[in-house]
Amino acid sequence: MPETPKPIKKEAAFFDLDNTLLRGSSSFLFGKAAFERKYLGRRDLYRFAWQQWKFIVRGETTKMMANIEEKALGLVAGHKAQELAQMVIDVYDEFIAPKLWPEAVRIAQEHMAKGREVWIITASPREMSDEIAKRLGLTGGLGTLVARDENGLLTGELEGRPLHGKRKLTAMKKLAKERGISLKRSYAYSDSANDLPMLSHVGHPVAVNPDGRLTTFAKAAGWKILDFKKREIRRRNKAKKKAEASKGI
């Protein structure tokens, strides 16, 4: 009897969220929404803003991520799980959508159009990745899980550890096994050297708005590099010159 052919594995694209699909930190944007709903004081908002500025200018560090995540978890402690999901929904149009990189969104949706699965994989809460993936028409999201007590209230603790660094690779491998995805034929996008484990395990790694360490590694490895920040600066300068020319300056 002829052998049964092995099923053809799927291709997928995995996108980091902060500074890859989204300009800056999703936790900061969540903090702004929490401030408006009086879950957060003005001093805390200033601290979030300072972390956001450092994140955009310097890139992601483990200590910075820990500080942001700890504060964000403190905000949701004692609230019902559905309140967190609803806050993410509420924050999307005003805070999240305007901060999405159009180029990154276009690339993600092009992958979908070519029949690939597209997953957001982030240290932000799972509710955040799920909602953004849903709004953009992507396959789904993977994110950090916030623990709930027997009454459905968020404890402010995590189930396990944040989905960060090597844990993203573990989650990606698990998902690939469950859904029959070939990582060798798949893509991954990130801005941070902390995601080198994930980037190094796909056939098509792409550095997006990369930090210094990732830039060095990507150039040495011959990886594709996309810098939306530089494109934005060029676009703004071009628009400024055009406006000045129209005024005869």
User: Which residues are the active-site residues?
Assistant: 16, 18
Find tokens 């004081």 and name the residue: 41
**Sequence-ordered alpha helix ranges (H) in the chain:** 26-36, 42-58, 62-76, 81-91, 102-113, 126-136, 166-179, 196-199, 212-221, 228-246
For residue 226, what are its two tokens? 């996309």
For residue 77, what are its two tokens? 């402690």
Do residues 197 and 133 make contact, with C-beta atoms less than 8 angstroms apart? Answer: no
DSSP secondary-structure letter at 152? S
Do residues 112 and 137 make contact, with C-beta atoms less than 8 angstroms apart? Answer: yes
